[in-house]
Amino acid sequence: MYEQLEEVKKSCLNCQKCALGALRNNVVFSDGIPNSKLMLIGEAPGFNEDMQGKPFVGRAGQLLDKIFESVGFSREKDVYICNTIKCRPPENRDPLPDEKEACRAYLDKQIEILKPRIILLCGKVALTSFLPHLNVGITKVRGQWFEGPYGAKMMPIFHPSYLLRNPIARPGSPKALMWEDIKNIRKAYDAL
């Protein structure tokens, strides 16, 4: 499994399949532990991710780590983290359809090799990549389980950047809903 992932990573690190390849500082392939239980799929690298070659660093990444830690998960031991797109779009714009299409093979390979049992779709880019037929925003479907690839349970969740923009914790707020979701994710993980 690890050798196969390394092969995919190697070709991804040299990839120029779309225009983002010429603009990046680093390809952002993954972080965390290659783990067949829990995978989080985010959107695309931002400034800090592009500089460090790691997904979910900076304030959003720190918040994501805290959310995981609140239910006893750690990036180092429990979660494989990757993005829908491996190179940073300029000015953090949403990835274009042709960029998503060009990059999709890497993500599909990551899923095929690890066959995670739980997949978290973090933010709207991941949501629309996997559940385009729903045609709804993340607020409508976060916290719901869907059937994912290879029989995985798949749940859309808020992106931590969105939580940073909506920091107030009151009943029904994004922060409170995220807390509910992560507890349900922990329960599903423990039941595997």
Place of tokens 């931002």: 46
Among 31, 43, 99, 181, binds ligand SF4 (CB under 6 A): 99
Among 54, 75, 86, 153, binds ligand SF4 (CB under 6 A): 86
Which residues, 6 or more positions from 99, have their beta carbon under 8 angstroms from its beta carbon? 18, 19, 20, 85, 89
Quote the DSSP letter at residue 143. T
Binding mask 3-42 for ligand SF4 (x = CB under 6 A): ---------x--xxxx-xx-----x---------------
Which residues, 6 or more positions from 119, have their beta carbon under 8 angstroms from its beta carbon? 39, 40, 41, 111, 130, 148, 149, 152, 153, 154, 155
Among 40, 41, 63, 103, binds ligand SF4 (CB under 6 A): 103
**Sign for the pseudo-dihedral over CA of 59, 61, 63, 66:** negative
Contact 163, 176 (CB under 8 A): no
Which residues, 6 or more positions from 78, have their beta carbon under 8 angstroms from its beta carbon? 32, 33, 35, 37, 38, 68
Binding mask 139-178 for ligand SF4 (x = CB under 6 A): ----------------------------------------
Quick one: 96 or 134, whose CB is closer to ligand SF4? 96
Quick one: 18 or 63, whose CB is closer to ligand SF4? 18
Quick one: 50 or 65, whose CB is closer to ligand SF4? 50
Rounded to a whole number of angstroms, the minimum distance from the CB of residue 16 to ligand SF4 is 6
Which residue, 159, 96, 93, is CA-closest to 124?
159
- The one segment of 81-89, 117-125, 129-137, 152-160 that binds ligand SF4 by CB under 6 A: 81-89
Among 60, 82, 85, 126, binds ligand SF4 (CB under 6 A): 85
How far is the C-alpha of 44 from the C-alpha of 96, rounded, in Å? Answer: 11
Size of site (CB under 6 A) for ligand SF4: 14
- The one segment of 60-68, 99-107, 151-159, 165-173 that binds ligand SF4 by CB under 6 A: 99-107
